[in-house]
Amino acid sequence: MKIAFYSLRDFDELPLCEELAASYGMEFVWTPDPISEENLSLAEGCIAVSSTPCYFPEEFADRLHEMGVKYVTCRSIGFDHLPLGRLAELGMRAANTAYPTECVANHALMLILMTTRRTGMAMAGVANQDFSLRGKMGREIGGLTVGVLGTGHIGRVLISHLAPFGCRILAYDKYPSAELAGLAEYKSFDEVLAESDVISVHMPASDETHHLLDDAAFSKMKDGVCIVNTARGSLIDSFALMRAIRSGKVSGAGLDVIEAENDLVYHDLHGQALDHDEYYALKSFPNIILTGHTAFYTETTIRCMVEDSFRSVALFEEGKENPREVG
């Protein structure tokens, strides 16, 4: 059994592939480049491909199926880039990965603290030998109301981390969690927007959540609200966010993800002119912190992401239930 790994990094993922391929009795081929028309042939003779979020149209599924590929695995929790309908029509099975999501909750907490304390402004000042205080005064989180949109595992962990700070915590989710009794107060979406000093987004990408935070949503928020997004870039209308910052409605934002980022993240594009207006516009704001989709990036998560590709293929081939199957 052989797997074709796309977008594989030689400095962290490759050594794990070499170790795990041996333990699972499999072979692998790899490229550092994302899957594309030019390198689809790498999958010849493979029963599976593994990739990170990337451009993956139905045509790629058709070509891979013709080569004999049976499985597509994602080294990510998100799988919204895959043409799941077409894969199902072709009889191809897909799987994502799972990893301890505390890392994302921890990153969200870091961004909440950085935005409320205007850390981005302070660091930018120090980088330019500006040690003045004007425009850098922060707020104590214990006296704020933090709204958490989405209380799946990551949202719940974040709330448990926030509770000791003494802040008031509001939550919105279609399916409230009994685990949060005494820690957070569930309210309607509009109530969370209206009452929160900080809003942290933890919802999946879907047609329903596309541009969840748009001009209309920002208009319902408190003046000076801070926005944090460690979920999916499509949840926030980037240009609506920038309009809200210019008006003073939003005082700062911590963004680990932005819209249409697949061609940006995990690539060294230093010195290149990028076709990404949102990125250039967002990074021009001194009160926006961008962390380049690294909330997941720890030693533990990388091992989980690589191993799940091998494990999923093994489970599929053995006819066993795969808890990571999607579709």
Q: Active-site residues: which are they?
A: 232, 261, 293
Residues 6+ apart with CB under 8 A from 116: 138, 139, 141, 144, 197, 198, 226, 252
**Tokens coding 118:** 């205007």
Strand partners, 72: 49, 94
How many residues are present in the chain? 327
Nearest one of 313, 319, 312 to 1, comparing CA atoms: 313
**Alpha-carbon dihedral sign for residues 209, 213, 219, 223:** positive
Asked if 58 and 65 touch (Cβ cutoff 8 Å), the reply is no
Residue in the structure block whose two tokens are 């909330």: 295
Distance CA 209, CA 130 (A): 40
For 327, other C-beta atoms within 10 Å of its C-beta total: 13
**Tokens coding 142:** 């214990």
Long-range contacts of 183-188 (CB under 8 A, 24+ apart): 183/159, 184/148, 184/151, 184/159
Residue in the structure block whose two tokens are 């995990």: 266
